Amino acid sequence: MNAVDRTVKDFGEQWLRYSDNEGYYGSLELFSDMLSPFLKLEDLKNCKVAEIGSGASRIVNMLISAGVKHVIAVEPSDSFEVLCQNIKEPDKVTCLKLMGDQLPAYGDLDYIFSIGVLHHIPDPKPVVEAACRALRPEGNFFVWLYGKEENEFYLALIKPLRILTRKLPHLVLASLVLLIYHPLNLYIRLCHRFPLPLREYLLSIFEKMSPEKRKLIIYDQLNPAYAKYYSRQEAIKLLEDGGFVNVRIHHRHGYSWTVIGTKS
């Protein structure tokens, strides 16, 4: 199986096991943090939007709570059923079981979001091009990506570990997550006192998650077959090469990128 199919299969299994979006993990407070500094929740009121890679419907429900008029939710994996079941207001959502590059060319969407997805796709350019075709002129594509800069310590640990963990069966991986979970909580306590790597992310986001969601986040880092950590230039180029102009980038909590581009 190639990396594309393997990644979709891995996520299908992941969301079937970790299917709820409870607490801070699925909150408007977190969504507002994700959107900042480019967008405010109010900007989305009555908009027609899409999300590419909707997983278990976390972002779709955030979009509905923010007041959008309609969401196109694109998810290719076996978690499609979980996505449909988890949607809060089904009459406001169209679910499509498609790969991102198959998003129909609606041409009238105000915003398209892709949160934590493009860094799992080995060749994301066709997905970015599809997003560009589906937006209206002056519409915006908003993307969240894993970052490379300031993550050197973390990447030195996670990259060799992932060579093994991405191949592990669920029960073994879930046991490993438990082994990491407790020392990580101790590390977070140390972050309160010392300027350690990943401090900003751990204290401003991760620490607000419930124990179950902390475990899911660790699992989500170790499980997918393919994950790329983008440099600032690579992240900007990703949207420019897909046809977007006025591409702006923000280094989010010192560990990731939010990138937004406009369709001309």
Ligand X SMILES: C[S@@+](CC[C@H](N)C(=O)[O-])C[C@H]1O[C@@H](n2cnc3c(N)ncnc32)[C@H](O)[C@@H]1O
Q: Which of 61, 77, 165, 256 binds ligand X (CB under 6 A)?
A: 77
**Measured distance CA(117)–CA(54) in Å, rounded:** 9
Residues 178-197 that bind ligand X (CB under 6 A): none
178: how many CB neighbours lie within 10 A of its CB? 10
Nearer to ligand X (CB atom), residue 55 or residue 261: 55
Residues 7-26 that bind ligand X (CB under 6 A): 7-8, 11
Number of residues that bind ligand X (CB under 6 A): 23
Q: Which of 47, 68, 76, 162 binds ligand X (CB under 6 A)?
A: 76
SS3 content of the chain, % helix, strand, coil (to 5): 50, 20, 30
Nearer to ligand X (CB atom), residue 18 or residue 191: 18
Question: Whose CA is closest to 176, among 221, 143, 132?
Answer: 221
The DSSP bridge partners found for residue 147 are: 230
Nearer to ligand X (CB atom), residue 7 or residue 165: 7
* Phi, psi angles (nearest 5°) of residue 135: -80, 160
Q: State the nearest-atom distance from the C-beta of 220 to ligand X, in Å.
A: 6
Binding mask 127-146 for ligand X (x = CB under 6 A): x-------------------
**Measured distance CA(264)–CA(262) in Å, rounded:** 6
Binding mask 25-64 for ligand X (x = CB under 6 A): ---------------------------xxxx--xx-----
Q: State the nearest-atom distance from the C-beta of 205 to ligand X, in Å.
A: 13
Contacting positions for ligand X (CB under 6 A): 7-8, 11, 52-55, 58-59, 74-77, 79, 99-100, 115-117, 120-121, 127, 220
